[in-house]
Structure 1
Amino acid sequence: MCMSKPYMFLTCHIPGPSSPLDGIDVYLQPLIDDLKRLWIGQLTYDIAKRENFNMRVALMWTINDFPAYGMLSGWGTHGRLACPHCMEKTKAFTLDYGGKASWFDHRMFLPESHVFRRKRNMFRKDKIEKDGPPPKITSREVFRRVRGLSRFPDVGKRIRYHEYGEKHNWIKRSIFWDLPYLKDNLLRHNLDVMHIEKNFFDNILHTVMNVSGKTKDNEKARLDLSVYCKRPEMELQPLPNGKFRKPKAVFSLTSNEAKSVCMWLKELRMPDGYSSNLARCADVNKGKCRGMKSHDGHVFLQRLLPIAFSSLPNNVIKPLTEVSQFFKDLCASTLRMDELVKMDQNMPITLCKLEQVFPPGFFDSMEHLSVHLAYEAMLGGPVQYRWMYPFERFMGDAKRCVKNKAKVEGSIRTAYTLKEANYFLSHYFKNGTLTPTNTRNEVDAASGSHSFALSVFCLPRRHVGNKEYWMKDEELRSAEVHVLINCTEVKPYLEAFLSWANVSEQQSSSYIYANFSEWFKHQVSIIEPTRGASHLRGLARGPERLVKEYHTYFVNGYKFHTHAWTVGKKTYNSGVYVKGVREGGVDDFYGVIKNIYELSYQYVEHENKVRL
C-alpha cells in the first residue's frame, strides 16, 4: 500500500532546506514508537467483515539512495569502506593522484580456480589473488557490532569512533535497531538499483565518448594507471616542450564516431510512452550527450548501448554488453532463483573484463555495488518494489506543487492535503470520478460488448480516425481467416480440421488459408442449434465488404499507428512483433502496420466488430 501514490506521503518527510544527515533519527522517532506498538498489536475494525481484529505491522526494509543508506543504517557510505556488504573486508584503496577511493580488481569474488586470479599483468601490477569473497554478514552479527554504539537522539551529535575509516565506518547505532525483530530481517536496507544503474551508465557514456570534465579517463587517471597497472601503451608520453601527450584509449570513440552516435540518437524514434525524447539529449556538433534523466539512462543502457557502441573492439563491447544484459535481467518483472545465482556469479567476471580495459579511476563505489545486486534480489525479490523510481516521481510532483518558494514545506503540505481530501471524497462518488487517472493509452473495457459475445468481439479498444474502404476479394478472405484462427471458440474446430486434413506443419498455413473457412461454415451448419452455435454460424458467414479504416488504435494499454501516420512524428508506433510457435524463433513475425481495419459481422441482434 505504501508504494501506491495516494499513500506514499505517509512514508516521506519534509526535512527542510538542508539534509538532516545523522539527525534523521529524530524525525524517525515517532515512526519507531508507532511500529513498536503495532508489532504488539492494535485492535482494529474491519469494515468488510464488520468485526474487530488484532492488527500487527512489521517493517520489511527501507528504500533509499546510497547517501541516505548511511543515514538510516549507521554505516558511513563515504571512503574506501563505503560498501555495506564488504565492510572492513574490502580491498578498495585510495588513488595516489586521483585522491578518490577505487574498487579496482574484483578477482576475490571469482571462483578459486579461475584463470584471472593468477594473472599478474592484467589487473594490479605484479599481484595475484588468493583471498575469497567477503563473508555474508547476518543481521544478528551486525547488531552485535553496533549495540555498544550511541543513538543520535541520545547524544545529539555525531561521535567519531576510534579507527573510523580504517577498520570500520560506523557513525551511530541506527534507531531501527530499537525494533525487536530487525535483527531477524534478512534485508534491512536496499541498495537502490535506480541510482546505481544511472551512475554506472554515466561513467560508461562519458568515458567512452570522452566527454571533457566528466570522463573517468583524465590525466590523473593515466598517472594512476602507471602506478597500479602495466599498460605502457596508455601511459602519458612526455613531449619536448615539457608537456604530456595522452594516447588514445582503446575504449574511447573518436570525435567523428561520437558525432555519429549523437546523430543516430538524434534520428532514433521509440514507441510512444517507452522513453522520453532522447533526441533532445544529443549534441551532434560537440559529439556528446547531456541532460539524460535516470530513466533515459535506464533505456539507453539496457536497449541501446550495444548498438550505439558497436564500433568498439570486441574486448570492450562484449563486457559492456554483458553489463547491459545484467541490468536488463535484474530489472525483469519475474526473477528465477537459478538465473539470479548465475548473475551473481557472472557479474564479478564482467567487472574483471572491464578492469582489463578501463583505468582504476573508472571503478568507484557504484560499479562495485553492482556485485551485490543479484544477492539482494534473491532476498528481496523484483527490484520494482525496492527502487527509488516511484518515490523520485512523487517528490517531483510535490516540488511542482510549490507556489510560494519562501514556504516550500508548507506549500507541499497544503497541496497534498487537498489531494488527500479529493481522494477520500472520491470513495463516495460512483466510479471514483474525483480520482485523477492517466488515460492516455487506456480504453473502456465495457465499450461495444454485450451479455454474450465471441472472444474476438470482447477486446477493449479505442480508435482514432474514420474513413470507409471497400475490401478486395483477396483482402476479405485473408481477414476472414485471420479472425477465425484467432477466435478462442473456433480453436477446437481448427484442431479438428488439421487432424482431418493430415497436412505437414510447413503446409498447414497455406492449407488453412485455402480451405478452412468453407470447412468451418459446413461444420457449424450441421451442429445442434444453440445460442453459441448461432454466433458461430454468424461468424462463419464472414464480415461485410465495406469496412472502416483508422490510423490509430489503442488496445491492451498500447498505442498503434499506421506507418503512414508515423511520418514526421517523434515516436514510432507502427512496428509489431508476434512470437511464433516453434522453438528458436524460426516463425517469429516482425512487421509494420500499413492499415487498421474494422470488420463488421451482422448477425443475431447485435453488430459485432473486430479490428485488424
Structure 2
Amino acid sequence: MRLVADSPAVAHIEESWPEFARDPRHVRLGLASDGVSPYSIKSSTYSTWPVTLMNYNISPWLATKKGFIILALIIPGPKQTTNFDVFLQPLVEELSQLWQGVSDVFDGRTHRIGRDRWFTLRGIMMWTMHDYPGYGIVSGFQTKGYCACPTCAVDLPYSWSYQLRKVVYMEFSTFLPLDHPFRGVGEDRNLDPPPIARTMDWWENTWMDVQDGRRQQDESGLRRWSLLHQLPYWKHLQIHHLLDPMHIEANVINEDGSETMPSAPWVLRKEERKVLCQRISKIRFPTGFGSYLRKAFKTDKTTWPSDLKSHDFHILLQHALPTCLHGQATPQLREAVYDLF
C-alpha cells in the first residue's frame, strides 16, 4: 500500500504542469462510479448510478469517509444507462472550468506571511475508478464480447465457444514468461509475444477512422468516444481509468455461486486426515508427557479434536507433526513444518 501522492501518475502530473504543482492548495480529484440498488434488495433489477469525487488533498484515511466524499451526480434507473456522457456533461464542464481556475477563493487556514488568502483555485481529475463493466460504461471501450480488452484492442485473439455460448480468450499464455510451463512443450510451445499496449493517441486515430467510415465500429473495440476527452488535460494523463480488483473478484465469485475454488495447501484430504490421526494415536513418548494425544486422536477419526490444550498443541507442532506428516500433504507444507521443528 502506498500513498496516492507517491504514485508515478501524480509525479507525471507535477512534471507536466509545474505551475499547478507549485501550489499545494490546488485540488486533486478522482471520480468513482458504480451501479447500486437503492432499496438494498439483491433480487431487484433497479439500478442507480451514483457518481462521486474523491479529494486527494486530505489525508488518505479521510478521503473515503462519508463526510468527505463529494456526490457529484445521481443517474436514476430503473435500467442501466446506455449513454453515460449525457449525464456526465455538466460535470465535465465544471471540471474544465476548475482546471482553468476559479478566482477569488478564500483560504481560511492560511496564517503564514507572504501567502495571499485570496487565490485562484485550480483542480484536476486524475483518474476514474470502477469495476470492469463500469470501465466500459465510463470510458466507452468495449469490455465484453469481441475486442473486450482496451489495452490489447484487436490484437488479442478471440474465438466463439459453442459449448459456453460466449466469446473466450484462450491465448493467455502470451503474457507469461517464455520458460513458463503453461507455454507448452515441444511443437505445441507458444512463443508468441504479448500484444502491444495501445495508447490514447492510437484510440483517437481509430475513432477518427470510424467516424470517416474507414473502419467498422464493431471491429474497433470502441462503442463511443468518451466525453472525458473534452477535458484539456485528459489526453496527457499517464493513467486514465483504475480498476478495483477486490470489486472485480467479488463480482466473479458472486456470479452464480457455483465456482469451485482449490483447497489451500495445508488442507488435507479425508484419507490423509484419517492416516494422520492414526499415526498420532499410535505415538508413544518416552516420558508420557503426550499421553492425552492417544485419547484425543482415535484410529477411526478424521476430524481435529476440540478439547486440546495449549500444551497438546505444542507437542503436536514440535514433535508429532514433523514425524506424522511424512508422505502426507504437499512438499511445501512438510518443509514449512520441518523448519519449525
User: TM-score, normalised on structure 1?
Assistant: 0.30
Shift of 1:136: 2.4
Partner of 1:20: 81
User: Given the superposition, is the C-alpha separation of residues 161 and 176 from structure 1 closer, same or farther in structure 2, using an over 3 Å criterion?
Assistant: farther
User: Given the superposition, is the C-alpha separation of residues 64 and 27 from structure 1 closer, same or farther in structure 2, using an over 3 Å criterion?
Assistant: same
Picking from 38, 47, 67, the partner of 2:133 is 67
Partner of 2:192: 131
Is contact 1:41-1:56 (8 Å) kept? yes
Partner of 1:362: none
Shift of 1:82: 1.2
User: Given the superposition, is the C-alpha separation of residues 115 and 66 from structure 1 closer, same or farther in structure 2, using an over 3 Å criterion?
Assistant: closer
SS of match in other structure, 1:206: coil
SS of match in other structure, 2:165: coil
Unmatched segments (≥5 aa) in structure 2: 1-53, 56-63, 111-115, 271-335, 337-341
Shift of 1:15: 2.1
Structure 1 CA distance, aligned partners of 2:267 and 2:160?
30
Structure 2 CA distance, aligned partners of 1:9 and 1:47?
20
1:375-414 matches, within 5 Å, as none
Structure 2 CA distance, aligned partners of 1:92 and 1:311?
38
Letter in 1 for 2:203: V
Unmatched segments (≥5 aa) in structure 1: 121-125, 151-159, 210-250, 252-304, 313-584, 586-612
Partner of 2:206: 145
1:304-383 matches, within 5 Å, as 306=264, 310-311=268-269
User: Given the superposition, is the C-alpha separation of residues 310 and 80 from structure 1 closer, same or farther in structure 2, using an over 3 Å criterion?
Assistant: farther
Is contact 1:90-1:134 (8 Å) kept? yes
SS of match in other structure, 1:306: coil
Shift of 1:81: 1.7
Picking from 241, 247, 257, the partner of 1:195 is 247
Q: Deviations over 1:57-79 (max 9, x none)?
A: 11111112222211211112120
Letter in 2 for 1:24: F
SS of match in other structure, 1:140: helix
1:6 is the counterpart of 2:67:
yes
Partner of 1:185: 237
User: Given the superposition, is the C-alpha separation of residues 4 and 141 from structure 1 closer, same or farther in structure 2, using an over 3 Å criterion?
Assistant: farther
Q: Deviations over 1:379-426 (max 9, x none)?
A: xxxxxxxxxxxxxxxxxxxxxxxxxxxxxxxxxxxxxxxxxxxxxxxx
SS of match in other structure, 1:13: strand
User: Given the superposition, is the C-alpha separation of residues 310 and 66 from structure 1 closer, same or farther in structure 2, using an over 3 Å criterion?
Assistant: farther
Picking from 108, 114, 130, the partner of 1:47 is 108
Is contact 1:161-1:170 (8 Å) kept? no
User: Given the superposition, is the C-alpha separation of residues 24 and 7 from structure 1 closer, same or farther in structure 2, using an over 3 Å criterion?
Assistant: farther
Shift of 1:174: 0.5
User: TM-score, normalised on structure 2?
Assistant: 0.52
Is contact 1:139-1:185 (8 Å) kept? no
Give me the CA root mean square deviation: 3.4
Shift of 1:140: 3.0
Pairs aligned (count): 205
1:89 is the counterpart of 2:150:
no
1:30 is the counterpart of 2:90:
yes
Which of the two has higher C-alpha Rg?
1
User: Given the superposition, is the C-alpha separation of residues 171 and 106 from structure 1 closer, same or farther in structure 2, using an over 3 Å criterion?
Assistant: same
Structure 1 CA distance, aligned partners of 2:225 and 2:214?
12
Is contact 2:253-2:259 (8 Å) kept? no
1:119 is the counterpart of 2:170:
no
Letter in 1 for 2:228: F
Shift of 1:127: 4.2
Letter in 2 for 1:13: I
Shift of 1:163: 3.6
Structure 2 CA distance, aligned partners of 1:26 and 1:308?
52
1:173 is the counterpart of 2:131:
no
Structure 2 CA distance, aligned partners of 1:5 and 1:173?
32
Q: Percent identity?
A: 30
Shift of 1:103: 2.5
Is contact 1:149-1:172 (8 Å) kept? no
Shift of 1:90: 1.1
SS of match in other structure, 2:135: helix
Name the structure where helix makes up a greater proportion of residues.
1
1:492-507 matches, within 5 Å, as none
Structure 2 CA distance, aligned partners of 1:89 and 1:310?
43
1:107 is the counterpart of 2:166:
no
Structure 2 CA distance, aligned partners of 1:33 and 1:116?
49
Structure 2 CA distance, aligned partners of 1:307 and 1:114?
21
Letter in 2 for 1:25: D
Shift of 1:308: 8.6
User: Given the superposition, is the C-alpha separation of residues 9 and 48 from structure 1 closer, same or farther in structure 2, using an over 3 Å criterion?
Assistant: closer
Letter in 2 for 1:134: P
